[in-house]
Structure 1
């Protein structure tokens, strides 16, 4: 079975010109078939403020009303996505920028209203692995922004970490898939105040212990939940750390296994 790498980059990398340039060079040099997934929440908040659109957050998650969805579509699907695609082309990567609506590649359900109405937010329902595979076999490198659709004409803002994991799960029917979650830290830290306290290997047993000890909290919780869900559903390898983990010489990052 052929191998496929799914790489997700966080907003701090997108906003840091040097970090983004270094990442794109590492991504371009990465051998084999690959898919890039990005968000752009910080850029969207900045552009929204310029346009007079208020950004509402609940527990770190964006409320996506009609105006916010317009900004997200412009920023994620336009400004951020096309800049990344153009820069990858300059690095001899034949990238193609996509939302989940393109080629019906990722369909979602609008999140039901519970305690909070998150608006036009999608929970991934299906990845069209055949359509994505056609692009890969044609020599293209898909670059997905964090937008999906409901199949009825509605775009939906969708968590980029979840998109990365669900793409990897969907493509695991065809490829041996690996996920690389790239962010500003070297990996999952045992002590948030000590950047050198990287936990190099986390399995389900250690994960439960880290939860009990209060070491895994806040934004790292949904990331690791996505990781174990993806591993349960066929993804082979998951790595978390800064962009240097894409280099063969670097081994200072966190590996997630069952």
Structure 2
């Protein structure tokens, strides 16, 4: 990994306008005046460079059956898959949540606030007004959310690294999943009426009317409601396993003998003379 980062720095970063280098001895006199790329443009440039990098032979990638030849990352990966096979593994509920966007919030007596929405769960009791231990994040708690269904969030526990699912406290008023862009649209409709667009109850009432409307949508809401319906019809995420009790968690933390299934060790010498593909 360190060598890959060094290659990215020497073969890509140093040629980008506005490059500042790793220290003051390796930057220009005024790199800020050369910074002409947006983050989106820079991402496109890096993606294009990676495509070339994956096809570029590397001195560190060699195969004992192809003496004298250097391989590209794509070639090396193809040989490994051809020899060892490929096993697709479905994501678990925890993996799904891990990949969702994250924000950092305090756990207060009323729960957690995210974009004027309050989330709460009795399982958060042990976290209320407590420090998470993440000093780099001002001791806030890691909260993950699904932008296409913000009716609930997930809070990571620091002791067991497990997730606590916390529903929106006003969800009974709406009784339907909704996306973050639907929430923002409801706030905009409220603001257009000259009302407080930070009132959680008022936003929930407007949101409920939008999602229950069976006739013609209000002007400017057609696209938002269509996107909301599409998000609701998307395949649902996997469910988290049921929360364990405190006694069960204590038992899990104790050392227990678990049977181990041993796997065979790959021996390339035994495969001598067999084709690679």
Q: Common fold, TM-score beyond 0.5?
A: no
Q: Structure 1 length as normaliser, TM-score? A: 0.23
Q: Which one has more relative contact order, counting CA pairs under 8 Å at least 6 apart?
A: 1
Q: Over alpha carbons, which structure has the higher Rg?
A: 2
**Which has the larger share of strand?**
1
Q: Structure 2 length as normaliser, TM-score? A: 0.22
